Structure 1
């Protein structure tokens, strides 16, 4: 999930899908790479390079040094505060629990201080949204770690509370977003487009001091983009909340249906949009988790047909996630043969490291085969060689994930 229940979340920042993609620290992207603005600011470009390399300390120092300047425009100050929040959130996903608590506290204090000092900030909605995404990322990590905690029930309850807090914050941001839209309408700016100008020009080299935020505040276009992002984050948060409840429980089914409903709302956006494909995949996950395997298969077939028979292109990362969902559907149906048909064993290793969801789905497939072989062996069948083959294959896949994938996906694979 880089901060992103995770793709660049809002303004090109969070990577919580890469909770969901090639790195959870791309969950703070929130399983979501649609941006409110198309162009990245110089600060954001530089920070993206640092975070892609895992240089969290350098990214933090850059933000703090820039924020110490007394000549920053309000737009740049808001942007750098948001970026520092994101840096601390992403770093917290990759460190042991004691360090994580300290980073979470730093993030909360930074956010609270900014809010108290900038209640009239025209970009406060975006800062609120970013902070909520970080809460979701905490919940995602907590849910994963609760599965092997000493007191699993208590740990899962803590994860559930974090998921609820994320949902509450997303709903609050959406309420304030609606108020902002109404205010624009009353001012007669209902048709406003996002400004091409990004911040004030200061000094001799204005390109070094520009912001991706318009000094005029958020436009209607950006507020509508935020609406879609909020719907997607709520989808992920309700889905995560469902996973904190016992399997087949009413609470789990209720949360999954809420997530599925929000996914359905997002599938009406243009099919060329990356968010459209993300929503489609999450809708499929919700159906699978509800054990509605017939409709899951139909949705997967629909997507495959749409990709094959139209000119609409699906991003490669999401195409790989679709393969992962096909594998998991057949695993849920206890049909190992069909799961194996999705991906041939002779080339599965070459796909590892390209997508975290697919990595884990392939590992789940080999674990299922190993488990099946051991059951046969326990029932008196002489198949020690087959057991050893799947055991060695599972270890080979896990080692490949350790070598090629991000810390988030390595941790998730090891839990399997």
Structure 2
């Protein structure tokens, strides 16, 4: 009897196995879908771990890109703010350009006044012409007695002249009453404005090429006041005090294609203090045959200021993508091992949406996927 029960048990198992389709099996697995809120919630996704160089009190080289005399706008050792002008090369050229632009602006005003005056004169002249033509028409009006006295030949000539005057009067009146003069004046003024805008653009270009600004807050060190040789040439330094910067080079496409303002890093010093860094700027350059970029992050910690002994030099850097809002972080590996076929067919996005239809995939990282409930 016991033997018969065991055989019936195995038969029932085989029957169920053969009767269930892969879809049914997958549906059963979906019934066991864990609650989305049971996963860890975070505000960032790991992208990669790279080597980076941390510099305490970083120094930026101040370079001149055109030859000539340097006119420093700050003193040696001055503390400056980001975007503050530090020096100009060939300040004389800038001064000449400023004087030229000022003369052009003055000439523009005078030209506009002259054009406006000339248009007023033309309109006044046309008004006088209209009055003369109207008076001529009155003189060409003949009474019956005058028509009889002058005879038909003279009368026909006078009628012809009258029609000519009427036609001329109509044309000139239409011009006077239209915006002809104003339209011409507007066109000529716009041409003058274009010339002035071109001169202003050229001046700003000269100033931009000759002016160097601070890329960040810091202290200025002046090394020279004259540029000779092939630019760019070093003329000073800008030291950012009390700051730690980390430089990393990214070659992995996922990291390079991410929005730079959404990137952040963490670096742990030898003293165990964890520093976080936000993207600050990028320094592009060519490496071999491929273009890459050096990204610079400014490190900060709520615990302490950056220590040269614990942080300076080569460090292991973890790169993350910041999320706009916290999301559930789904580890790929457990699902990939259990649902390989489904993931291959649906892709990660389709697979996760089949598990949580009321959720959206925020970002698919190398190891973790951010998923959030739809609002």
TM exceeds 0.5? no
TM-score by length of 1: 0.20
Q: Return the structure number with greater helix share.
A: 1
Structure having the higher Rg = 2
